[in-house]
Structure 1
Amino acid sequence: MTKNPWLTVIGLGEDGPDGLCAASRAALGAAEIVMGPARHLSLLPEVPARRIAWPVPFAEGIPQLSALRGRPVVVLASGDPFWFGAGAVLARQLGRGEWRAYPGRSSFGLAAARMGWPLEHTGCFGLHAAPLAQLRPHLAPGRRMIVLLRDADAVQALADYLVAEGFGTSDLTVMEALGGPRERLTEARADGLADHAFAHPVCVALAVAGEGTVLPLASGRPDGWFDNDGQITKRPMRALTLSALAPRPFEHLWDIGGGSGSIGIEWLLCDATLTATTIEPRAERAARIAGNAARLGTGRLRVVEGKAPEALARLERPDAVFIGGGLSQALLDWLEAHLPSGTRLVANAVTLDSEALLTAAQARLGGDLLRIELSATVPIGTRRGWKSSFPIVQWSHVT
């Protein structure tokens, strides 16, 4: 990194320049231009630098900033710019030697200090531009979370969401203008927040409570979590399939023949670094997959409406592939010809025709074949008996 980058990113708190370190003050004093949200600019004393309000949406400010390259510029951000802040976005756009950063006190740290919560055991969520459903996998009695919200109206939206999901008895501590002279804390239950008004900026410390349904941590979640028309990889088979796919951090999945999207969604629930694309030829199912993903906090699932293999050519290359529908010799041939070496491939077959395709593929290419037969108890008059499901053949192969 160079000694004198042209850009300095400064984390500014609600106490304005009073909380800045000496290096931040020096950078402000030497700046020719200061960019930042209007609220942050209003906290500064009179400085000789020209002030530019950062536009909304945020991305529109990047070209303006880039046009100032080479001049001494300060960008103001909230608290710690590298914790759900603008710092990471700017760092991706600029060369490492072009910028330096002086983080301020983070809202998460301030909120944890007010609550007396150990931050390492507290969920931290930045939902300025993300849906509240990102909280859904984490909602369980006893959980503690700190949630940054885009504006005052989002506080009531959060409370309404918790009530709708069955966690209306959760305790909320709404924190406004943390660390500044306007700081205010309001305590209420989620189901009793309707009469309160708040001012931006806000974050909420949330202690989850209630009788809402908790999403299990293990793969093979109950089928009821996924809206479907009957086309779904059922819970026990889904658990076996995720085990065979063996997700690892930062990997990408192709889920071919998505149905309800359950495989792609459960893949994403394994780790926040995972990505996935579901390919589904039927429009109504594609829409259902997107709805399931959004509701379960995995809206980053990409849903492609199309038929494999035709729809695969322009997709990001995968680390793992699951074929849950649309199995054909043409699809297997395309995958053999185009998948990178080392890609994990898992395919499930129910019909004799599909089973024959997988048996032939395994004989030619290798891999493992697994025949799975499941039975469940059903009433037989006044007694009970076993009812068998169709056997499923699973082929697992590394290209």
Structure 2
Amino acid sequence: MSGAWLHVVGVGDGGLATLTPEQAAALGRAKIVFGGARHLAMLPDDHPAERIAWRSPFADSAADILAARGRPAAMLATGDPSWFGPARWLRSILAPGEAVVLPAPSAFALAAARLGWSLEDLRCLTVHGRPVAALNPEIADRARWLVLSEDGASPAAIARLIADRGYGKSRLTVLEHCGGAAERVRDAEAGSFDLGGIAALNLVAVECRADPETREFARTGGLPDEAFRHDGKMTKRVLRALAIAALEPAPGLLLWDVGAGSGSISVEWLRAAPGTRAVAIEPVAERRAMIAENAFRLGTHGIDIRDGRAPAALQGLEAPDAVFLGGGLTDGLFVAAFNALKPGGRLVAHAVTLESEAILLALHEVHGGELLRVGVSRAEPVGPYRGWRPAMPVTHWHLTKAQLP
């Protein structure tokens, strides 16, 4: 690419001796070389380029890169820089065509080759610079992952997470220094993980296996009520499935779950689409603990649990793409939530009391949307027979906020 001044060079565990001729030529022409301390130390003493190490935090290095614009430069990165490497970040600060990526085989490719796995059949993940808990939504029986580690402690932390979720029989394979002279491959079960002396540069392959007593749930909305720990303050299964369908979760969207109770709406929202986020607002400490427990047990990550009462607790929050009002409706609460909702966003409100229902009826008259009254009856014993026992009816209202002209 003729307009490129920065070449991003992927380096394998074997160091600069493993570079391709194209990579070596790009590094040889560079007047400036960016990289971490480990990579910069690989440069021979007689290399004339200026060496610039990454700043902490990493994003502060943007100023150094922009200052070098137009001069021949190279950036050293591990393996394939487009796999959880700097390539995506560079695209956010440079114009198209300014940088060229010259990859080495990724750690994922090397690990798959060692294990005889096909990359298209598994998930490639990372905990480098990210919490291990972010892997929680990926846990499922027979799922396969390859995970880039933060350091030598990551494999044990991954094993604990998996075992605590009821997948202690899962097999973890730790691959250290893949492609290098110090390469080593070892494995252990998650529930009895005992590998020690693990190198900082490692990748973990995981084959998830559920323990016999572990129950798995579908990703579709409407989990059984007994899947959640709750004290009765919970949107029940039928209404919850209706609410999730009306909220329309999609990757990247943010939900406000106001009066979250057990967190059932937040949990189902996150389970429905990868990359969703939720703010669960709940004033009762015991219920906030239930939200955290339910989120972990049901394999979610990304709920921001807040202490507070709405509408005051809504101030300063990131604007939502969807709002669920299930913890008692007031005029002031709707106004605050609706004003904060992004154009095109969806709002769902449930009412059980006559007073809350009256508010919904008035709001529907002004704002439109869809209004439903839902009654559910369950078959229960009546002496030696069975009969229908009705639950309290719930008024469901949902609407989409108009897009700006």
TM-score by length of 1: 0.87
Q: Matches of 2:59 and 2:344 in 1, distance apart?
A: 37
Sort the Cα spacing of 1:91 and 1:224 in 2 relative to 1 into closer, same or farther, 3 A. farther
Q: Return the offset for 1:201.
A: 1.0
Q: Matches of 1:22 and 1:228 in 2, distance apart?
A: 62
For the 8 Å contact 2:380–2:386, the answer to whether it is kept is yes
* 1:248-277: CA deviation from partner (whole Å, max 9, x where unpaired): 344333322222332223222222243333
For the 8 Å contact 2:137–2:300, the answer to whether it is kept is no
Query: Which amino acid in 1 is paired with 2:370?
Result: D
| 1:327 alignment counterpart | 329
| 1:122 alignment counterpart | 122
Q: Matches of 2:226 and 2:197 in 1, distance apart?
A: 37
1:10 aligns with 2:9: yes
For the 8 Å contact 1:133–1:296, the answer to whether it is kept is no
The runs of at least 4 aligned residues of structure 1 exceeding 6 Å deviation read none
More divergent stretch after superposition (110-119 vs 314-323): 314-323
Query: Which amino acid in 1 is paired with 2:130?
Result: A
TM-score by length of 2: 0.86
Q: Look up the SS of the partner of 1:169 in the other structure.
A: coil
Query: Which amino acid in 1 is paired with 2:358?
Result: A
More divergent stretch after superposition (145-154 vs 66-75): 66-75
Q: Structure 1: any 5+ residue segments left out of the alignment? A: none
Q: Return the offset for 1:176.
A: 0.7
Aligned pair partner of 1:265 in 245, 257, 267: 267
| 1:137 alignment counterpart | 137
1:364-383 alignment to 2 at 5 Å? 364-380=366-382
For the 8 Å contact 2:138–2:299, the answer to whether it is kept is no
Query: Which amino acid in 2 is paired with 1:245?
Result: L
Query: Which amino acid in 2 is paired with 1:11?
Result: G
For the 8 Å contact 1:245–1:346, the answer to whether it is kept is yes
Q: Return the offset for 1:158.
A: 1.9
For the 8 Å contact 1:152–1:202, the answer to whether it is kept is yes
Q: Matches of 1:83 and 1:270 in 2, distance apart?
A: 25
1:349 aligns with 2:348: no
Q: What RMSD in Å do the two structures reach over aligned CA positions?
A: 2.9
Sort the Cα spacing of 1:154 and 1:243 in 2 relative to 1 into closer, same or farther, 3 A. same
Q: Matches of 1:270 and 1:205 in 2, distance apart?
A: 26
For the 8 Å contact 1:16–1:44, the answer to whether it is kept is no
Q: Return the offset for 1:341.
A: 4.4
Q: Matches of 2:304 and 2:392 in 1, distance apart?
A: 31
More divergent stretch after superposition (174-183 vs 265-274): 265-274
1:395 aligns with 2:394: no
Query: Which amino acid in 1 is paired with 2:186?
Result: T
Q: Matches of 2:210 and 2:260 in 1, distance apart?
A: 33
More divergent stretch after superposition (57-66 vs 213-222): 57-66
For the 8 Å contact 1:134–1:296, the answer to whether it is kept is no
Q: Return the offset for 1:291.
A: 5.7
Q: Look up the SS of the partner of 1:10 in the other structure.
A: strand
Q: Matches of 2:360 and 2:154 in 1, distance apart?
A: 51
Sort the Cα spacing of 1:294 and 1:190 in 2 relative to 1 into closer, same or farther, 3 A. closer
Q: Return the offset for 1:285.
A: 4.3
Q: Return the offset for 1:177.
A: 0.8
| 1:28 alignment counterpart | 27
More divergent stretch after superposition (61-70 vs 269-278): 61-70
Sort the Cα spacing of 1:296 and 1:32 in 2 relative to 1 into closer, same or farther, 3 A. farther
| 1:188 alignment counterpart | 188
1:291-306 alignment to 2 at 5 Å? 292-293=294-295, 298-306=300-308
Number of paired residues? 398
